[in-house]
A and B are shown apart, each in its own frame.
Chain A
């Protein structure tokens, strides 16, 4: 057998180390996105802490962003479900942007999970992006994660973010989030938004939680709603979210006639987007007047007359939007496991 000289031995060792590193990378890719966190000082894994990397953008409208966010939320639920005894570190360092709808969904999910397993310790770090860093402070995520934030919320876009939460249909709980902008809104728009929110909350109380949510937690959870408002770029954005079974999930019991028609028209199980669009259309047709609706129709009515107003409904995989009077609907691949309704209306400055 040929004896190796020192140089050849070193070369061989380097190659072997490279192979081992490559195998480790492949193995890590196949594992869950929850990884062992390293101690800041050492570099050795902390045995009782798992790290979950947050997506770069919290958004549910763009397909790619939505897929990343729903996967992240699934992993978050998975942690509370399977590793409740281990401490969780949510790693926001790569997060660049918080879009209102996606952020509200994450916030609601985090609140629900913390109540599902109060013993689970959740910690987080701060995003590198300054605006993103302030958003987490403004909406209270640092508080939930017991993270000491030493900065101040100063960013113009961020200081107007507001969140509210409740389980009753009580507008006084979220009125403050809208009152601040009332001076810049036309009167019918203000009334329309309050009316839409009140009706959406009534729907949450009556229907959203009629069945257990299909999130693998085997838990009924709070029957809450979460409201979010934000003033940005001359628009007021208001969103309401629930973590129930979604409009497509409630339609068979709330409106079996309509669901039967949809089944006959689209096949055994109608798609979520079709269910939402049909439920809205049905609620408007029941009033006999297209500009007015009961229930869901009331919700989108808020912006029906506003030239630059927009209403969006996301429920499970489906979406519906009314934009400047034009309606459209469709489906995503990933479900948000709940319903999020949002209004965007122009605000006059001064």
Chain B
């Protein structure tokens, strides 16, 4: 399996913010559609998302970027082992897992 590293701060934005495309150029929706979905569409790819370095990862951005993957048609099995989150702040990773879990529950 190929591993692709995505560093939010250096590859996307140092200050990611907002939920939808209409909110701004560095929103959760833009990140999901430009970085996460194209890689996850390939079943042989595992993506490692580096969260550190990006300033102000707010709940609306995180929910739309990662929780939005479930709304975009992925399920938790497809994401398990293929979406790896890296951060010194463990609560940030836990928060994203919650958003994915909440969406998966409501889509059941």
Contact = CB atoms under 8 A, between A and B. Distances in A.
Contact of A205 (B23, B95, B98): B23
Interface of B is mostly: loop
Given A195-B56, A199-B60, A292-B95, A170 B17 contact: yes
A199 B61 CA distance: 9
A121 to B, nearest CB: 34
B98 to A, nearest CB: 8
Interface in B5-32: 13-19, 22-27
Contact of A169 (B14, B27, B55): B27
Contacts of A205: 18, 22-24
A293 B13 CA distance: 23
B55 A171 contact: yes
B26 A170 contact: yes
A198 B18 contact: yes
A243 interface: no
Contact of B24 (A170, A191, A287, A298): A170
Contact of B56 (A198, A287, A295): A198
Contacts of A169: 17-19, 23-24, 26-27
- Grouping DSSP codes into helix (H, G, I), strand (E, B) and loop, the A interface class, with mixed when no group exceeds half, is helix
A64 interface: no
A201 interface: yes
A298 B55 contact: no
Interface in A178-202: 190-191, 193-199, 201-202
Contacts of B17: 169-171, 194, 197-198, 201-202
B19 to A, nearest CB: 6
B56 A206 contact: no
Contacts of A171: 15-17, 26, 55-56
Contacts of B91: 292
Contacts of A197: 17, 56
A264 interface: no
Nearest to B19: A202
B105 to A, nearest CB: 13
Nearest to B57: A195
A170 B25 CA distance: 7
Interface string B42-66: 0000000000000111111101000
Interface string A277-306: 000000000010000111100100000000
B58 A298 contact: yes
Given A169-B18, A194-B15, A202 B56 contact: no
A175 interface: yes
Contacts of A196: 56, 58
A104 to B, nearest CB: 20
A168 interface: yes
Interface in A134-192: 168-172, 175, 190-191
Interface string A230-272: 0000000000000000000000000000000000000000000
A242 to B, nearest CB: 14
Nearest to A297: B59
B59 A194 contact: no
A190 B55 contact: yes
A168 B24 contact: yes
A293 B15 CA distance: 20
Nearest to A169: B18
29 contacts: A168-B24, A169-B26, A170-B15, A170-B18, A170-B25, A170-B26, A171-B55, A171-B56, A172-B14, A172-B15, A172-B26, A175-B14, A175-B15, A195-B57, A197-B56, A198-B15, A198-B58, A202-B61, A205-B18, A205-B23, A206-B19, A206-B23, A292-B95, A293-B59, A294-B60, A294-B63, A295-B60, A298-B59, A298-B60
Interface of B: 13-19, 22-27, 55-61, 63, 91, 95, 98
The 6 closest A-B pairs by CB, nearest first: A194-B56, A169-B18, A171-B15, A198-B17, A168-B24, A169-B24
